[in-house]
Structure 1
Amino acid sequence: MAADGRDGRKATVDPRLLELLACPLTKGPLTWDEERSELISRVAKLAYPVRDGIPIMLPSEARTISADDMLTPPPRLSGPS
């Protein structure tokens, strides 16, 4: 399991926060990639990192998503029922 890279713990995003966040470039929805601890904007083809539970919503910090990543179905957010 991937960690957020700082303290070795797995990063998480509150489902309510995910509903409020949008891609700063497209203003479109984001999906949570738990494995990589990233917020994904499929429209912008960018992955924004989450460090210490804080989404880094700067395009300069985002990773460009490859064509292979785009073929993979979007990750589903899992949360409490």
Structure 2
Amino acid sequence: MDKQLLALLVCPVSHAALHYNKEAQELVCRPSGLAYPVRDGLPVMLESEARQLTTEEKLEKK
């Protein structure tokens, strides 16, 4: 994930910063509790495509 692109992107729900999870290929937003998929190097920033974070993921510190 391009660091410059990541710096510009925010969660469309909470407008909070996103954290890139390279292993899961997701952009994670803990304030909204959503993880947006990254497909073929492109973030899919649609709430309908995001998955809900687990309780453990919400509490995890990065």
TM-score (norm 1): 0.73
Gaps of 5+ in 1: 1-12, 75-81
Supply the distance in 1 between the matched residues of 2:57 and 2:28 (Cα, whole angstroms). Answer: 10
The percent of aligned pairs where both chains have the same amino acid is 45
* Alignment correspondent of 1:41: 29
Higher Cα radius of gyration: 1
Which residue identity lines up with residue 11 of structure 2 in the other structure?
A: C
* Alignment correspondent of 2:3: 15
Supply the distance in 1 between the matched residues of 2:17 and 2:59 (Cα, whole angstroms). Answer: 18
Query: Greater RCO between the two (CA within 8 Å, min separation 6)?
Result: 1
Shift of 1:46: 0.2
Gaps of 5+ in 2: none
Superposed CA RMSD in Å reads 0.7
Supply the distance in 2 between the matched residues of 1:18 and 1:59 (Cα, whole angstroms). Answer: 17
Q: 1:63 aligns with which of 34, 51, 55?
A: 51
TM-score (norm 2): 0.94
User: 4+ runs of 1 displaced by more than 3 Å?
Assistant: none
Residue by residue over 1:20-48, the C-alpha shift from the partner in whole angstroms, topping out at 9 and shown as x without a partner, is 00000111100000110000011000000
Aligned length: 62
SS of the aligned residue for 2:20 comes to strand
Give the number of the structure whose residues are more often strand, by fraction: 2
Q: 1:31 aligns with which of 19, 22, 27?
A: 19
